[in-house]
Structure 1
């Protein structure tokens, strides 16, 4: 592919993770643009991936590296609102999707502070992340140019990137045999590429080193583990009776869920750019939180709100997946969701066993469930004879239609009883 005519820039801010794509980008940008390169890494829970990052960035040509701790904002402003919405995208719990807009927003803030005239990312032209990054950049800095080398550069495969890295003595933690495309944060870990690209291949979740946040269900303990989560207005605040900060809470649930084989998802999803893509996701703590939150809503939301909120969740998930976090509609949907959560307070106990989440208990002072109403035993709060009138009115349109059909059939000489 021919490169487009390149503008010259004095200072480029690079979204830097230290992974394969961004590792080769620093020397490549310097070779092709001759600009100062400032790397920015958003800490959203990658932990070990951040070790040695500054030394690596500077050694490969960056003038400086910002490592921004975004964990608390990530959880409170992105993860929890999505949990409260109950939003997913084709079962996927949106781990990468809501991290990208946050990281991009911080990159824009640094680009403005540094007086940069361009922002660069290492997202491929086939993926969703390019959209998520660029829509966020456009929302906060429409005047800044965006460089996306994967759309035009010569390193158009992971194999070529690895060769380039080896030629330029760039240290990598992967090789040609182990280079799954991964994205890790506090919420999840995604795996794509290699043998996963063929849906006929079983995901190697039992292979040593593949899973990082937990174990497969087969390798989980033979005894179940119970976990109790307390929510205040839809926000998880305590685990097993111990109140804790939201970041600590997710980290603890990741540990509990991981060791019990919870939250492993293998799906072929519909990417925003039009193709289907297979991914294996690890979301142990998040899967527990979604299950608990849904269980609590079952007893605290009325039927109409609960059903309508399910429709909102579908749209909310699509907006987040498609990179439309910073839009009026997403903000409006969050306002609706917050209103529905006022009574979503209580405790949920779940039994975790070899990848399964089994509800054990749910209680709330705002519960709409009445044992007296629902009991099969004798009660004095529900007159069962009322149901006859309800059914007559509820079924009236069906009865009217049937009577009309019967009359028409008789007028045409057709026996109504013989008509299916």
Structure 2
């Protein structure tokens, strides 16, 4: 189902740096792209969350680590000391900025009182600052080719008004902060009456996908906004994790909407919902998830799981440019799968917590190169 806004006068609603996330008009034009230099990096740098909870930068060749944060703190045995949690590092497409989430929990009689912020590390100046303060986000994503950081807000109190129903008056949309100007804007209004979460951009920055929040747990229904057409499209069903093709004409998805039930498979589907093709094979006691197009869109990677506890085998699978499917390597566990910008390797974390390590997996032969202890790794463009 689609809804189209008049496209003759593009507008963007200007908000404070801390947008309230309330209902507003959806802009009909795409956000204005900001010019950015994108030199080829001389070194491969990976940002990740180390086992002590801090965000660090790792030089893949030398192993040298540069701390981005240093004050992470875990829960104490008696819950009387503050906690500081960092997570979800993400690079801007030009590699200038690294955004990540911060949660600070202060002990109270009822447990912990949390405050939230989206943090920003500027690799040019090595300075860290707050991009969005006092708002709990429900996912964020950089628009490719810009320094625009789109984000969703956690559902507001009273949104889940009744069992199996929501209060549309409390629905929140997708907002953004432009890091170059520190100005806020409303990107997508909750046109279908549901709060929006987990935004993600197509590689060309013209499409923004998100989920419509129906329940307290699990994934919401898939929807997206086309900034070229000024159109909000909702599919009225959850389809799991998604990945856009390079031109935005197709999607990968896995139907992993909650805990795996061994029916999950990887599919490719056209943006209009037609032509769905199953890519992962049918196999007993198995499921597949986390499909990702390569940066140029010519290859697909996903994770295949075979067997039941305690005899589970995790396998990294590649569909190459010729359409040939082949296993790359078997792993104990797989977390946070990502492509490297050159499309020659996959970046992931493996192991059983707390013994979790980030490795590079070569597409050529499946060889693993250790990067560092930790997870949630992303390589600088």
Q: Same fold (TM over 0.5)?
A: no
Q: Normalization by structure 1: what TM-score? A: 0.29
Considering only CA atoms, is the larger Rg found in Structure 1 or Structure 2?
A: 1
User: Between Structure 1 and Structure 2, which shows a larger proportion of strand residues?
Assistant: 2
User: Between Structure 1 and Structure 2, which shows a larger proportion of helix residues?
Assistant: 1
Q: Normalization by structure 2: what TM-score? A: 0.31
Structure of higher RCO (CA pairs closer than 8 Å, 6+ residues apart): 1
